Amino acid sequence: MTIEIKRKSPAGRRRGPGTRGGGAVNFLGLSVLSVLFLIPFYLILRNALSTDAEITAPGWMWFPVAPAWENIEKLFTDPSVPMARALLNSALVATLTTVGTLFLCATAGYGLARIPYRHANKVFYLVLATLMIPGAITFIPSFVMVSSLGWISDLRGLVIPTLFNGFVAFLCRQYFLSFPKELEEAARVDGLGYWGAFWRIVIPNSGNFLAAIAVITFVGSWNSFLWPLVIGRSPDSWTVQVALSTFLTAQTVSLSQLFLAALVAMLPLLFVFLFLQRFLVQGVAQTGLKG
């Protein structure tokens, strides 16, 4: 058993061709690609802290001479784009959507997975059937419903119709089916009903799963554009994405303000990425593969 042999075995080298040269090329390729992937972020930061004159200057400037911090004040005092209000709206919509979706879909998923009701399977098939409807084409029908409820340009119209996510309910059901039954049975012996077992045993022991679903719901809600555009007709009800798009298509734009607005719109999610990336990756693996 010499080191020589060990090094030759494929397991020791991970997969694929494992010559030293190949590894270096691979590493170099990844480095070049990651620089390319980061360029848009660099551009946002550079432009947000430059003056308009610096952005449009003929020679390429890697970074502004002095960061133009005054852009921040200009952006938030610009009356044509209610950026502060839009941020507040987005935070409210994303938070309420995440909490609401999680609550409704987890309870429904648990009920479908665990409670021995005679027609549980029929209800489950109904939920599955709604998954067959392609998400994007329901915006016209849902708009019809929301407008007859009088929820146009209203927080209720932005949040409530998005809460009943059949796909998340489906994921929750599959997850609860695999939850160890012994734990719940122990709770039942201790005199807890389904409701008690759900809140005291199942939910506290499903932290990772719920966090993954929550993070991915939050990101999706914060970044969504079509639905808030359809519902948010008055500037008071714009989310960050809608405000940004109006800004983008406005007649006269200050480039630096535009990019600063983009930076502000992105910042909360960058924090989510920094601190909750583990859950996000897990959420992607869960939601993507089951889809």
Cα dihedral 95, 96, 100, 103 sign: positive
The residue among 141 and 207 lying less far from other proteins, judged by its C-beta, is 141
CB 287, min distance to other proteins, A: 10
The residue among 57 and 88 lying less far from other proteins, judged by its C-beta, is 57
The residue among 3 and 11 lying less far from other proteins, judged by its C-beta, is 11
Tokens of 87: 């941020």
> DSSP alpha helices (H): ranges in the chain?
3-8, 20-48, 52-55, 70-77, 83-114, 120-131, 139-148, 155-159, 166-177, 181-189, 194-197, 207-223, 226-231, 240-248, 255-290
Burial of 212 (0-12, 13-18, 19+ CB in 10 A): buried
Tokens of 6: 């060990």
CB 223, min distance to other proteins, A: 4
CB 219, min distance to other proteins, A: 7
Q: Cα(166)–Cα(149) distance, rounded to whole angstroms?
A: 22
CB 247, min distance to other proteins, A: 8
The residue among 23 and 64 lying less far from other proteins, judged by its C-beta, is 23
Judged by DSSP in three states, 238 sits in coil
CB 138, min distance to other proteins, A: 6
> Nearest CA to 215 among 271, 286, 283, 165?
283
CB 14, min distance to other proteins, A: 6
The residue among 88 and 144 lying less far from other proteins, judged by its C-beta, is 144
The residue among 3 and 122 lying less far from other proteins, judged by its C-beta, is 122
Q: Cα(242)–Cα(260) distance, rounded to whole angstroms?
A: 15
Tokens of 3: 């080191």
